[in-house]
Chain A
Amino acid sequence: MDAKVIVVTSGKGGVGKTTTTANIGAALAKLGEKVVVIDVDVGLRNLDVVMGLESRVVFDLIDVLEGKCRMSQALIRDKRVENLHLLPASQTRDKDALDPEVFKEVVRGLIETEGFDRVLIDSPAGIESGFRTAAAPATGALVVVNPEVSSVRDADRIIGLLEAQQINEIRLVINRLRPKMVASGNMLSEADILDILGVKPIGVVPEDEGIIVSTNIGEPAVLGKTRAGEAFMATARRLKGEDVPYPKFDVEGGFMAALRRLFGGA
């Protein structure tokens, strides 16, 4: 993607926006970009805990806007990945504290003054002011969608709103796909979702318990070894323009399946 400023959004809550922001951000930094991930969910911040950086928050985005600190004081450098930074949201204020035009200026400063290669903005759920503010500085968008009815419907709504804001580089991250259910015809496939939404996927991330474990300890999955982590890493590579093939997910996992394969069974 050419866009330096990318909003991660979905409409529906709970589909994995924050996890996607943390992992794509960490992956891009691992691939050599200077990255800042911004939490715009003022009053309900969570990117800090998902990334395991909560104990280091002193100042936040709103403090910067109100001149209570310098940008460099609010930016938290992730010690595990070079060039990865977090700009946390305020936990004690509400959405009105952040004006879209002011936020645009902040993001411009991050690129022009602080020298970031990529800005990832974690949008709040919904289509109201929080989302609009998050999307204001963006020229690209990652729409996170789960293969289920309400998420796909909300994604369509969000895509329409993004296009209306002249955000033209829109890609889908299909999250929590269950390969077994897709194989048995009981879950939408990535091809189905492309058909329905008419937007190109850039990543397909399988449902993976490893994500719960990595979130428990506050370490983005791309820093460890999980199937979902590998899928996020591949997504980041595609985002940078690499042609990474989509892996065939092992539908039949487990010991018995391995035995069956070994003896030439189905």
Chain B
Amino acid sequence: MFSWLKRGRTKETLKDRLELVLAYDRAQIPPGKVEALRNDLLEVVRKYFPTGQSSIEIEQRGDMVVLLANIPIDENAQGRSKP
């Protein structure tokens, strides 16, 4: 919870938060909606690749909010829930 104490420079945290929240404001999208989409997408990805190190990050690029998915497709992974 107090990681900022070690890291210092909380303004970097603030800058990231502000850039993201302003992007949502300008696009008139509630942030939680994108967060929920991200979580749902992750759930689907994990259903197919349960052991994979998949990640989906929300990023702000210029005036846009983008979801960046990193899904390593590895058929050697143990989980075989896919038909």
Binding site for B on A (CB under 8 A): 49, 52, 54-60, 76, 80, 91-92, 213, 215-219, 223-224
- B residues 1-26 near A (Cβ < 8 Å) are 1-2, 4, 10-11, 13-14, 17-18, 20-21, 25
Residues of B within 8 A of A60 (CB): 30
Indicate whether A216 sits within 8 Å of B11 (C-beta atoms), given known contacts A49-B17, A223-B1: yes
B35 at interface by CB-CB < 8 Å: yes
B82 at interface by CB-CB < 8 Å: no
Contact between chains at A56 and B32 (CB < 8 Å): yes
Contact between chains at A57 and B25 (CB < 8 Å): no
Tell me which of B2, B10, B33 contacts A216 (CB under 8 A).
B10
9 residue pairs, one from A and one from B, having the closest CB atoms: A58-B32, A216-B10, A216-B14, A56-B32, A57-B32, A55-B31, A92-B28, A58-B30, A54-B21
Closest Cβ of chain B to A54, distance in Å, is 5
Closest Cβ of chain B to A225, distance in Å, is 9
Residues of B within 8 A of A49 (CB): 17-18, 21
Residues of B within 8 A of A219 (CB): 1
Binding site for A on B (CB under 8 A): 1-2, 4, 10-11, 13-14, 17-18, 20-21, 25, 28, 30-33, 35-36
Chain A interface, >50% SS class: loop
Other than A56-B32, A91-B25, A215-B14, give 13 A-B pairs with Cβ distance below 8 A: A49-B18, A54-B17, A54-B31, A55-B32, A55-B35, A56-B35, A58-B32, A58-B36, A91-B28, A216-B4, A216-B13, A217-B14, A219-B1
Residues of B within 8 A of A213 (CB): 4, 10
Q: Which residue of A lies closest to B11 (CB)?
A: A216
